[in-house]
Amino acid sequence: MSDHVQTLERGYGFESTAVQRNKVLRNTYWLLALSLIPTVLGAWLGVASGITQSLGGGLGLVVFLGGAFGFMYAIEKTKNSAAGVPVLLGFTFFMGLMLSRMIAMVLGFKNGPDLIMTAFGGTAGVFFLMASLSSVIKRDLSGMGKWLFVGAIVLMVGGIINAFVGSSAGMMAISVAAIGIFSAYMLYDLKQIVDGGETNYISATLALYLDIMNVFQSLLALLGIFGGERD
């Protein structure tokens, strides 16, 4: 009788865990979709006002890194409280504002709107592919984390150097590498949620948002370099 009870308890425990994972995944998707609204608003404000046009080179890098790491620290501190979601949405507004400089440059091309929509569609395609893979891959991917982290650090260092050098070839190489690394990061972060390794939907949303933004920005940079048409 006791063995039967233990079996039932283990069964209910597994079901409870599965329900919790689905809840985290569902909340993450909803918050991720919501986070795109302030991102678009920030990008629109930046393009319309031109407020970020002077943030080039080292100054833009300092503002971006200072703001981004400040927001991420605040998100980590508030992720278990009611303030977590507003802080995250504030961060996505800031990211949209920072992205507006690149968007304004791309809009300077005759086919600028088409390039932006292509980058958006490509990013959405990568996300849906990785989301599908995360639901069918049974292998534990947690070991990928340290290698992806090293790759992201190398990319960041390369990006900082290129911000001062201003090399188009360097930007192309960094963009291609970023698409590969952050697409893999997207799969890793989604798999963490599916496997129960990430139980906080605010942290999960932040990770996926950063993956998506890096892929989108890198695609947009490549499309601007190779596909931009001057009037």
The per-residue pLDDT for 5 is 47
Kindly indicate the confidence band of residue 123, based on its pLDDT and cuts at 50, 70 and 90: very high
Q: Sorting pLDDT into bands at 50, 70 and 90, what band is 229?
A: low
How many domains does the chain fold into? 1
pTM for this prediction: 0.86
Say yes or no to pLDDT of 39 above 90.
yes
Amino acid 14: pLDDT? 46
* pLDDT tier, 112 (very low <50, low <70, confident <90, very high otherwise): confident
d(CA 203, CA 206): 5
The mean pLDDT value for 128-145 works out to 87
CB 182 within 8 A of CB 211: yes
Q: Which of 92, 41, 94, 27 is nearest to 66 (CA)?
A: 94
pLDDT at 12 over 60: no
Average pLDDT over every residue of 12-22: 66
pLDDT in tens, 138-191: 888 888 888 898 988 998 888 878 777 777 788 888 899 999 999 999 999 999
Q: Is the pLDDT of residue 224 over 70?
A: yes
More confidently predicted of 54 and 194: 194
Domain that holds residue 196: 2-227
C-alpha dihedral (124, 125, 130, 133), degrees to nearest 10: 140
The residue whose two tokens read 């609204």 is 37
Query: What's phi and psi for 162, nearest 5 deg?
Result: -70, -25
CB neighbourhood size of 219 (10 A): 22
42-70: pLDDT as tens digits = 999 999 888 877 776 667 778 888 888 99
Q: Report the alpha-carbon distance of residue 23 to residue 25 in Å, rounded.
A: 5
**112/87: higher pLDDT:** 87
Predicted local distance difference test score (pLDDT) of residue 199: 87
For residue 227, how many other CB atoms are within 10 A of its CB? 14
Which tens digits make up the pLDDT trace of 73-108?
A: 999 999 998 899 999 999 999 999 999 988 998 998
Over 80: is that where the pLDDT of 223 sits? yes
Which is nearest to 122 in space by CA: 37, 215, 209? 215
Return the number of other C-beta atoms located less than 10 Å from residue 156's C-beta.
Answer: 13
